[in-house]
Amino acid sequence: MLCLGIESTAHTFGCAVVDKTSRVLADARDVYRAPEGKGIHPREASRHHIEASADVLKQALESAGASMKDVDIIGYSAGPGLGPCLRVGAVVARTLAGYHKKPLVPVNHALGHIELGAMLTGARDPLVLLVSGGHTMILAFSYGRWRVFGETLDITVGQLLDQFGRAMGFASPCGSRIEELAGQSGEYTQLPYVVKGNDVSFSGLLTAAIRLAEKSDVPSVCYSLQETSFAMLAEAVERALSFTGKKEMMIVGGVSANRRLAAMLASACERQESRFYACPIKFAGDNGAQIAWTALLDYSATKNKVAVKDASVTQSWRLDTVDVAWRG
């Protein structure tokens, strides 16, 4: 059984083909790059997706050695995400499903990050830290849904890094540049550390870091920013591990590429006697494989599909409202 997955929530237009034995047969992507110092402009990104879609789809099918006739299911990212970007993926998915008469499965993007991470790492029942441009959430599976055990009260950790980086004039996304600069310094300056209950807040930290950069060297601010924000996340994760008693912990989303964050989480896991898993970097950010794999799991378990005329998108579709039939 082959599933074609289409991802278009934000900067990435991706198409991937997976089969039911967990093989990613093809993963093609094209990423919208915002002008230097600027964030994603939804209309510009959606224009990028429209222009990239035909080539990305062709590439995915060619490298999978498949044609649309061989595809059994089509999954698409139906939210959460940027409306104009989501609509491009949905239009492509609806067109293909309608024309080729294939079942169409809407997928929650956050669920896609988790299910692909679990498939690739072998984690079975982890506490999850989902850290990306669009999410900062601590989740564990309980009674049919991924439940939230902590999240950001304002901006995500990806937005914290990208907005700080853009204020420094870096090209977006800025996380890897900040990581590189932080590695050149070991000088810590105290910044606002805000954990409320098991939730985190980053907006005060962002303002303080930008102010600090007016009088300190940028590498030391990058170091202090990483140390503060990642320690907040590690504290919330450690408390959630202790509370839920989960024996596995998995990090997914674009920010999981950061080695310092992974090291802090690995020591929290060691203290809580949990096994630490990180999604492989290649699949940490947005991609079509996360959508294809989740659509395949969903369709195999439920046979749920949507009619082409009802295949919509939802900009703010919370993961903890999604029923998950394939997890015990």
Chain positions contacting ligand AMP, by CB under 6 A: 132-134, 158, 161-162, 173-176, 179, 253-255, 257-258, 285-286
User: Whole-number minimum distance, CB 247 to ligand AMP, in Å?
Assistant: 26
Nearer to ligand AMP, 96 or 253 (CB): 253
The strand ranges marked E within the chain are 2-7, 12-19, 24-31, 73-79, 104-108, 127-131, 136-142, 145-151, 195-196, 199-200, 248-252, 275-278
Q: By CB under 5 A, is residue 7 in contact with Mg ion? A: no
Q: Which of 31, 7, 284, 286 is nearest to 171 (CA)?
A: 31
Mapped onto helix, strand or coil, the DSSP state of residue 35 is coil
* Bond preceding residue 80 cis, omega within 30 of 0: yes
Nearer to ligand AMP, 162 or 199 (CB): 162
Nearer to Mg ion, 232 or 284 (CB): 284
**Contact (Cβ atoms closer than 8 angstroms) between residue 105 and residue 300:** no
User: Whole-number minimum distance, CB 57 to ligand AMP, in Å?
Assistant: 20
Window 273-292: residues binding Mg ion (CB under 5 A): 286
**Contact (Cβ atoms closer than 8 angstroms) between residue 241 and residue 125:** no
Cβ-proximal residue to ligand AMP, closest one: 254
Q: By CB under 5 A, is residue 8 in contact with Mg ion? A: no
Q: Which of 266, 131, 280, 155 is nearest to 205 (CA)?
A: 155
Stretch that binds Mg ion, among 89-97, 132-140, 159-167, 312-320 (CB under 5 A): 132-140
Nearer to ligand AMP, 26 or 255 (CB): 255
Nearer to ligand AMP, 80 or 175 (CB): 175
Give the largest CA-CA distance in the chain.
61
Residue 81 binds which entry of ligand AMP, Mg ion, none, CB below 5-8 Å type-dependent: none
Q: Which of 59, 55, 75, 77 is nearest to 10 (CA)?
A: 77
**Contact (Cβ atoms closer than 8 angstroms) between residue 65 and residue 93:** no
Residue 108 binds which entry of ligand AMP, Mg ion, none, CB below 5-8 Å type-dependent: none
Stretch that binds Mg ion, among 69-77, 126-134, 209-217, 262-270 (CB under 5 A): 126-134
Residue 173 binds which entry of Mg ion, ligand AMP, none, CB below 5-8 Å type-dependent: ligand AMP
User: Whole-number minimum distance, CB 87 to ligand AMP, in Å?
Assistant: 18
Q: List Cα–Cα distances, 274 to 120, 229, 236, 240, 279, in angstroms.
A: 18, 22, 15, 12, 16
Cβ-Cβ contacts under 8 Å for 244 (sequence gap 6 or more): 127, 140, 149
Helices (H), 183-284: 203-212, 218-244, 259-271
Q: By CB under 5 A, is residue 132 in contact with Mg ion? A: yes
Residue 112 binds which entry of ligand AMP, Mg ion, none, CB below 5-8 Å type-dependent: none
Count CB atoms within 10 A of the CB of residue 195. Answer: 15
Residue 269 binds which entry of ligand AMP, Mg ion, none, CB below 5-8 Å type-dependent: none
Cβ-proximal residue to Mg ion, closest one: 132
Residue 199 binds which entry of Mg ion, ligand AMP, none, CB below 5-8 Å type-dependent: none
User: Whole-number minimum distance, CB 200 to Mg ion, in Å?
Assistant: 18
- Residues at the site binding Mg ion, with contacts judged by CB under 5 A: 132, 286
